[in-house]
């Protein structure tokens, strides 16, 4: 049984759940779902403060295990930290069925420490989404945490819901931005483009991005982003909304960018911090931007 507490109302129950659990709308019909302790229809509109409980009949993934290398920054008996490369999809979908982070995780045999009372488990088929508790966009590189036990996965999920996981990104944006600031704008799915999102005056989900300028170039800016919330495409949508889209972002940037940036948006998740859900230890990780990102910094500094 998984539990979610709704922060911002206005979204359909089924849409809310499909973004958080490995379950399609059709499969949700066979799941046990309670809203504030009572059974409701999947099309029910949620309100802030609602508590959702869901138990699916089958929480196993249909993805196949593959021998795909992962850049593992840290690993213990409870979780691991990976540095996801640009171009790698986190979870199969939208025509992508192999070579994902999920496929790679299923291909690794990971044991629970003997001192735990639970029997040894493997990621394959035992954990929802193979322990994945958050995602990065395909062309966003950087740090991700993955759970290795069901208990840790549940705790990490609640930590993300409570904004208790610190995530810091750096990115190159178009235009000259100054100082620092906070963008507090709700994000909702774009009615005209269902795979994209946009800001909304009302409805949607509240999203908060704190930004700090690190370096100014002639027409571009290197920016640090601290996420208070973690909505889909949050940084990309927020920066586009204030007229400073992430460089190379074909979805949210200008139709005619100043020059082509192959490989997508120049955005990197370079810091991750949280309290270890099992040991209570403060965990801090950092992964510098890849060579592609660094090359663009050098290129822009010469213009």
Q: Is 199 buried (19+), middle (13-18) or exposed (0-12) by CB count in 10 A?
A: middle
Rounded Cα distance, 61 and 59, in Å: 7
CB 36 within 8 A of CB 22: no
Residue 96 is encoded by which pair of tokens?
A: 């992508």
Give which of 224, 270, 225, 266 is closest to 249, Cα–Cα. 266
289: left (phi over 0), alpha (psi -120 to 50) or beta: beta
Segments of the chain assigned E as strands = 2-5, 32-35, 38-39, 51-55, 72-75, 79-84, 141-147, 166-174, 180-184, 186-189, 197-200, 208-216, 220-227, 267-275, 282-286
Q: For 11-35, give one letter per residue: b (16+ CB within 10 A) or e.
A: bebbebbbeebbbeeeebeebebeb
The answer to whether residue 249 is catalytic is no
Give phi and psi for 145, each to the nearest 5: -105, 140
Rounded Cα distance, 170 and 168, in Å: 7
DSSP state of 91: S
Residues 137, 184, 190, 290: which is the catalytic one? 137
* Catalytic residue numbers, as ranges: 137
């Amino acid at each position: 049984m998984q539990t979610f507490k709704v922060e911002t109302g206005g979204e359909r129950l089924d849409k809310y759940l499909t973004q958080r659990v490995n379950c399609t709308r059709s499969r949700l019909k066979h799941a046990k779902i309670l809203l504030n302790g009572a059974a409701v229809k999947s099309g029910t509109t949620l309100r802030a403060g609602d508590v959702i409980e869901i138990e699916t009949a089958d929480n196993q993934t249909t993805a196949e295990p593959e021998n795909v290398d992962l850049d593992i920054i840290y690993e213990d008996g409870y979780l691991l930290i990976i540095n996801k490369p640009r171009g790698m999809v986190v979870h199969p979908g939208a025509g992508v069925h192999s070579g994902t982070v999920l496929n790679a995780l299923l291909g690794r045999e990971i044991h629970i420490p003997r001192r735990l009372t639970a029997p040894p488990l493997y990621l394959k088929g035992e954990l929802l989404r193979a322990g994945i508790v958050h995602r990065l966009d395909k062309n966003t590189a950087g740090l991700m945490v993955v759970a290795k036990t069901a208990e840790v996965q549940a705790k990490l999920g609640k930590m993300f819901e409570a904004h208790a996981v610190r995530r810091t990104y750096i990115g190159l944006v178009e235009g000259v931005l100054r100082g620092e600031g906070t963008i507090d704008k709700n994000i909702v799915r774009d009615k005209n483009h269902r795979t994209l999102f946009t800001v909304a005056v009302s409805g949607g989900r509240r999203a908060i991005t704190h930004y700090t300028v690190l370096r100014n170039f002639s027409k571009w800016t290197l920016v640090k982003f601290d996420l208070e919330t973690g909505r889909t495409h949050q940084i990309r949508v927020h920066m586009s909304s204030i007229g400073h889209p992430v460089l190379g972002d074909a979805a949210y940037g200008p139709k005619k960018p100043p020059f082509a940036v192959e490989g997508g948006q120049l955005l990197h998740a370079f810091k991750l911090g949280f309290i270890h859900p099992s040991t209570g230890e403060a965990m801090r990780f950092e992964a510098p931007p890849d060579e592609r990102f660094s090359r663009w910094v050098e290129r822009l500094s010469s213009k």
